[in-house]
Amino acid sequence: MSSYPHVFQYPFAVLQEQGFEMKGQWNKLFFKNENPIVLELGCGKGEYTVELGKLFPEKNFIGIDIKGARMWTGAKQSLEEGMKNVAFLRTHIELIEHFFASGEISEIWITFPDPQMSKVNKRMTSSRFMHLYRKILIHSGIIHLKTDSNFMYTYTSELVKANNLPIEVSTDDLYNSGLDDEILSIQTFYEQQWIERGLNIKYIKFILEPKDIYIEPDVEIELDPYRSFNRSKRSAKNTNKE
């Protein structure tokens, strides 16, 4: 992918030494417009990044993941289709503030992340990541979470509640919720797997209002009854759709 003009791969050592020249200037230097920028974190094959780019030509989309082999699928498709509002960034999510300036991002999509049931700080909707997202989002920036994990959905819902963040949409059974939303109908590779295995898809959309401190929810959450620490090894043997 090093030859793709819309793919950016920056080792941490390079960031430390040189920084990222487009930080705060993605619209000016790359997209060549002033349209809102939307991120898909942990984009995998980039399905949401590409499909959202098609649905909303008036917005710019950047898929972020550390695994280039997965990202290549979406990068190749968007290049072949001549999409000018799509880019991909290969880096760790924890480093995104090195690539984007304050207020540069309007929305963030988190699609089917590992719920990290035993490691709070690694959960992509934890208070740690909320502080990180707040650094790059506009004032009323939006967070979308789509997940197969009941643990992740419940944890995120409780965190949003604990921090009094405005919820715009929340459902623990997306495709039986009656929501007629073209955006939500986009299905990632992993999502199709979970649906085939009988898992309900959960979705929550909320506004990340600025706060000095984001707190963790003080609740006990039931663990998922299937392996979740490695998406390639997940199994739904003990899970049935109700």
- What are 184-224's pLDDT values in tens digits? 888 887 788 888 888 899 999 999 999 999 999 999 999 99
- pLDDT greater than 90 at residue 10: no
For tokens 């919820």, the residue is 167
Among candidate residues 65, 114, 148, 224, the one labeled active-site is 114
114 is annotated as an active-site residue: yes
The mean per-residue pLDDT over the stretch 70-76 comes to: 95
- Rounded CA-CA distance 191/184 in Å is 11
Task: State phi, psi for 148 to the nearest 5 degrees.
Answer: -90, -15
The whole-number average pLDDT for the span 5-19 is 89
- pLDDT for the residue 166: 98
Distance between CA atoms of 170 and 125, rounded to whole angstroms?
15
- The greatest distance separating any two alpha carbons of the chain, rounded to the nearest whole angstrom, comes to 53
How much is the average pLDDT of 148-160?
97
In sequence order, which residues have a C-beta less than 8 Å from that of residue 25 and are 6 or more positions away?
none
Coil, strand or helix at 57: coil
238 pLDDT tier (thresholds 50, 70, 90):
very low
Q: 61 phi and psi, to 5 degrees?
A: -130, 135
Rounded to whole angstroms, how far apart are CA atoms 118 and 9?
A: 30
Q: Would you list the DSSP string of 142-192?
A: EEEEEES-HHHHHHHHHHHHHTTPPEEEEES-GGGTT---TTTT---HHHH
Average pLDDT of span 131-148: 97
What confidence category does residue 116 fall into, taking pLDDT thresholds of 50, 70 and 90? very high
Across all residues in the chain, what is the average pLDDT? 91
Which DSSP letter does residue 114 get? Answer: -
CA-CA-CA-CA dihedral for 83, 179, 105, 65, to nearest 10: -60
pTM: 0.91
Least confident of 35-39, 189-193, 235-239: 235-239
3-state secondary structure of 42: coil
pLDDT (0 to 100) of residue 239: 36
CA distance 30 to 14: 20
Give the confidence band of 229 by pLDDT, cuts at 50, 70, 90.
Answer: very low
Rounded CA separation 7/88 (Å): 5
